Amino acid sequence: MAVLEPLASRPTSLTEIVQEAIRDAIVSRRLSPGDRVTEAALAKQLNVSKTPVREALLKLEYIGLIESDGGRGGRIIRPTRESIRAAYEVRMGLETQAARQLAQRGDAELLTQPRLTAEACLNAAEADDHAGFRDYDRQFHLAMAEATGNPLLSRFIRDSFDLTWTLRDRDVPVTDDSVDCARQHLDIMEAMESGGAQAAEDGMRRHLEYVLDLVISTFERQLAQAAGFSLDVQASSSNP
C-alpha cells in the first residue's frame, strides 16, 4: 500500500522536496520505525525519477533518520534512549558555541531575526498554537545558526536539528511545556544582546537539556505503555 502522495509540482530543488516528503511520512508514522524504503518504491509513489530519491535518502542517512541496508534503500531508524541523547549532545556542542559567538560579537543587527522568531514563538505558545510554536521554534534555532555567518557551523546545526526535530515531532505529543521552551529562547536572546557570552552558552545548554529530558521521559513512557499493552494482549490470549 502506498504511504506517500505523488508530488504535484516540480520545484527547483526537487531533492529537498522529496526529503521533506519522506520526513513528513516519518513524523506521521506512515513510514514507521523499522520500515524498509527503496528508491524504486518511493520514486513511484512520489511520481519522480530515482535520482532525487537517491539523493534524499543519502541525506537522510547522513542526518541519521535512515539506516542503510546495503541496497538501494534503507530502514527508518528505531530510536533508543542512547541515540536520542547522542543527537542532543551534538546539538548542545554546536548551538552553545553559536550562542557564545553571537554574544561575543555584540552585533545587534545579526540578532534581529533570532529575536523576531523568539517573540513569535512565545506568542504562538501562549495562544496554544502548537503548529505555530513548532514552526517558530525551528526558525529560531536555524536563524541563530545563520547569524553566525559560519557556513559549516550553520550546516552542522541544521543537520543535527533536523534529526532531533523529526524525532521530537514523531515521538513527543503536544505538551504543556511550549511556553516554558519559548521563554527560554528569550532568556538566551537577552544574554546574547547584553554580550554575556557565558550566560548565552549556559542558557542554550539548559534549554537543550530541558528539551532532552522532555523527549527522553516521553519516549520511556511510551515504551512502558507499549510493554504493558503487549503483556495485556499475552495475558488475554492465554486465558480461554
| DSSP characters over the chain | ---SPPPS---S-HHHHHHHHHHHHHHTTSS-TT-EEEHHHHHHHHTS-HHHHHHHHHHHHHHTSEEE-SSSEEEE----HHHHHHHHHHHHHHHHHHHHHHHHHT-GGGGHHHHHHHHHHHHHHHTT-HHHHHHHHHHHHHHHHHHT--HHHHHHHHHHHHHHHHHHHHHS---S-HHHHHHHHHHHHHHHHTT-HHHHHHHHHHHHHHHHHHHHHHHHHHHHHHHHHHHHHHHHHH--
pLDDT in tens, 94-142: 999 999 999 999 899 999 999 999 999 999 999 999 889 989 999 999 9
**Looking at residue 238, what is its pLDDT?**
54
Structural domain spans, the chain: 14-76, 81-225
pTM: 0.79
**Looking at residue 2, what is its pLDDT?**
58
Q: Picking from 77-81, 95-99, 229-233, which range would have the lowest pLDDT averaged per residue?
A: 229-233
**Looking at residue 167, what is its pLDDT?**
78
Structural domain 81-225, CATH architecture: Up-down Bundle (1.20)
**Higher-pLDDT residue of 77, 236:** 77
pLDDT in tens, 4-43: 655 554 446 899 899 989 988 888 889 988 899 999 999 9
Res 82 pLDDT > 50: yes
pLDDT in tens, 149-208: 999 999 999 988 888 888 777 776 556 688 999 999 999 999 999 999 999 999 999 999
Structural domain 14-76, CATH architecture: Orthogonal Bundle (1.10)
